[in-house]
Structure 1
Amino acid sequence: MQTGNETNPSIAFPVLIGDIGGTNARFAILVDAYAAPKEFPVIPTASYKTIDEAIQRGVLDKTSVQPRTAILAIAGPIKEDEVDLTNAPWIVKPRQMIAEMGFRDVILINDFEAQAMATTSVESKYLEKIGGGEVRQAASRVVLGPGTGLGVAGLVHARHTWYPVPGEGGHMDVGPRSDRDFELFPHYERIGGRISGEQLICGRGLMNIYRAICKADGRDARAASPAEVTAAGLDGMDPVAVETLELFCTYLGRLAGDLALVFMARGGVYLSGGIAQIVLPVLRHPGFRQAFEDKAPHGEIMRQIPSFVVTHPLAALSGMAAYARTPVLFGLATEGRRWKA
């Protein structure tokens, strides 16, 4: 049966934790609250027809440990008893998992709730600082993750507790600012007549920027995928790709700065996901941080807010492990998101 409103439920070990994205799924098992997570190979979501099959063949068949609890972070809205992933064909069915896979307890959370919680547990060696500012330990934080889409979440601290705040901040409107923007914005592909952050700051957003530059400048598009654009931009061989990466990081800086103001994120702004790690050399250029801080009349506040690229390969799993070990530290409400045998 599904439980009522629980903010800090007890977690029964062993625990399966999973980060289910649009392209890949990552899993680990926590045997107890003190053990290090036992990680399993990354599973492309296209490799299995269902998430149940992926968990069974990719995890459970490779261990003698039978998890009692499953905590899954998924890229999609959580409602009812069947949850569709936004950018993958899998459907998460907690009741079916309990009936057929031996779990006693299934908890679903938003994938960026997990990323937000990870900012409290990831070691400093996995945080690449961009620009100035210093972290205030009990202050709000923001996480952005350009990937298949653009994930956003906040993390608010109150009463000695961290409260993750998931949302759809990646779909906020963005508009032109510079002269170059005004040349390019008429060429950007729109969704429902508008240009949101996710139209520019994700994998397909890279292609949107790249094609717009080609159209505006009367050039032929030589790259056909985000990977090609990124590679050509990083090695400096294609000037259109170089400008694409610079603009991508500038737009990311603008949106990150806007969200930092929304949350007054003196605890830092954290860029997660594979794309941020790949374009890290460009994020180190002045454009990202200049765009981040250019928020008159609050430029001085912005200069005091630090920004980081999270380089941990399994950051979301780190956040879920922290929650599983000490749920009392997180105000993660599980009403409508927890199923029990």
Structure 2
Amino acid sequence: MKTALVGDIGGTNARFALWRDQRVEQVRVLPTADYACPELAIRAYLAAVGQPLETLEAVCLACAGPVGGDVFRFTNNHWQLSRAAFCADLGLAQLLLINDFTAMALGMTRLHEGERITVCPGEPEPGRPRLVIGPGTGLGVATLLPLQGGGWRALPGEGGHICLPVGSEREAAIWAHLHRQLGHVNAEAVLSGPGLLALYRASCGLDGRAVTVDSPAAVTAAALAGEPYAVEVLQQFCRWLGRVAGDNVLTLGARGGVYIVGGVVPRFAEFFLASDFQQSLRDKGRMSGYFDQLPVWLVTAPYPGLEGAGVALQPLLEGA
């Protein structure tokens, strides 16, 4: 049985697992801040699970950011990687680097019962793309495309860096406040963990309120405890996620459905289900009917990025 290593590396955490017999095993989560480079993190992971380095057939790393060329610089952490130096250091013959949301999209093909919650009921339109979007340390966006004859292809992109859409006077005022601070205001500036805190601070600045919380988790906790101002901020987060998801559905023709993924939204799943997300998703004027019967799911699977990295790596292992 061939053994490979798969990794899903974000801005805050690196998730590693062994890939054997088309399954992930021995999952560990390591903070990226604790290691100077991915090679050291991988060596620490292998030592922790008792897997000798020389037994690995291949490695697939799903990385936040556009992948290409020999040197890869991670978007949201201090790591960088040279393919040639990485393979030489670890004694590897095969390294596959893919975008983290390529892996996330492929992970949607391996969801099990109970690993997604229906947000909007509907039926996937056969043969149409599916949108995968998720706030985490950043905002990831990818497309899952069904192939003739079966199977799927994941199309990576950098949709988190599109311009933040404005759909109301309040949103225009928040956007202007952020623009004075940031210049270009992309969707990720609001729709991410750090973005939630930025949204709270911008709202306080507009309304002349004192900032009383200092982390995204604290904003969420206050909202879930019923604090009215935090509730409205989190509601606005959900509205903006609906607007951005809806824009992507129209652009891609993603009538196959929408997967909401990432580490942020599942933390307030019940709030999200009752929020203005659905209304904002379809708030597209004369194109609102385009969203009739569009299914939307909130994904609660623990490690879909690792599963997707394994899916991406499997053809390489079978051809080796």
Query: Same fold judged by TM-score > 0.5?
Result: yes
2:38 is aligned to 51
Q: For residues 152-231 of structure 1, what are the structure 2 equivalents within 5 Å?
A: 152-160=141-149, 161-189=151-179, 193-231=183-221
Q: Is the 8 A contact 2:102 2:155 kept in 1?
A: yes
CA contact (8 A) 2:120 2:294 kept: no
Count residues in correspondence. 315
- Please state how far the C-alpha of 1:253 moved relative to its aligned partner: 0.5
In structure 2, the residue matched to 1:40 is 27
State the percentage of identical aligned residues. 37
Q: Secondary structure at the match of 1:274?
A: coil
Tell me what 1:86 maps to: 75
Question: Which residues in structure 2 correspond to 1:18-167 (within 5 Å)?
Answer: 18-33=7-22, 36-60=23-47, 62-64=49-51, 66-136=55-125, 138-160=127-149, 161-167=151-157
Distance 1:173 1:264 in 2: 19
How far did residue 305 of structure 1 move?
Answer: 1.1
**Paired residue type of 1:221:** V
2:305 is matched with 316
Q: How does 1:237-252 map to 2 (within 5 A)?
A: 237=227, 239-252=228-241
How far apart in 2 are the matches of 1:287 and 1:77?
A: 32
Does the 8 A contact of 1:76 with 1:86 survive in 2?
yes
> What's the CA shift for 1:246?
0.2
Q: Which moved more, 1:174-183 or 1:52-61?
A: 174-183
**How far 1:61 sits from its partner (Å)?**
5.3
Contact 1:40 1:58 in 2 (8 A): no
Residue 326 of structure 1 deviates from its aligned partner by: 5.2
More helix per residue: 2
Cα distance in 1 for residues equivalent to 2:132 and 2:189:
18
Contact 1:189 1:199 in 2 (8 A): no
Match status 1:233 vs 2:219: no
Deviation, structure 1 residue 190? 5.4
Report the alpha carbon displacement of residue 179 of structure 1 after superposing the two structures with TM. Answer: 3.3
5+ residue gaps in structure 1?
Answer: 1-11, 329-339
CA pair 190-319 structure 1, distance change in 2 beyond 3 A: farther
Question: Gaps (5+ residues) in structure 2?
Answer: none
Q: What is the distance in 2 between the residues matched to 1:230 and 1:192? A: 23
Residue 121 of structure 2 aligns to a residue whose secondary structure is coil
Which of 234, 259, 262 is 1:273 aligned to?
262
- Give the TM-score of the pair, scaled to structure 2: 0.91
- Determine which of 271, 282, 292 is the counterpart of 2:271: 282
Q: Is the 8 A contact 1:190 1:199 kept in 2?
A: no
SS of the aligned residue for 1:232 comes to helix
CA distance in 1, matches of 2:80, 2:248: 31
1:176 Cα offset (Å) = 2.7
Q: Equivalent residue of 1:59, what SS?
A: helix
Instruction: Give distance in 2, aligned partners of 1:64 and 1:245.
Output: 43
Per the TM alignment, residue 302 of structure 1 is displaced from its structure 2 partner at its CA by 0.6
Is the 8 Å Cα contact of residues 85 and 91 (structure 1) preserved in structure 2? yes
Deviations 1:228-285 (A, max 9, x none): 1111111113x22111100000000110011111111122111111101112222111
Alpha-carbon offset, residue 221 of structure 1: 0.8
Bigger shift: 319-328 or 258-267?
319-328
1:305 aligns with one of 291, 294, 301: 294
Distance 1:18 1:182 in 2: 39
Q: Indicate whether 1:294 and 2:270 are aligned.
A: no
Q: Is the 8 A contact 1:175 1:195 kept in 2?
A: no
RMSD: 2.1
Amino acid across the alignment from 2:96: I
Aligned amino acid, residue 50 of structure 1? C
Shift of 1:63: 2.4
CA contact (8 A) 1:147 1:274 kept: yes
- CA distance in 1 between counterparts of 2:217 and 2:92 reads 39
Q: Distance in 2 between matches of 1:56 and 1:282?
A: 40
- What displacement does 1:15 show? 1.4
Amino acid at match of 2:32: T
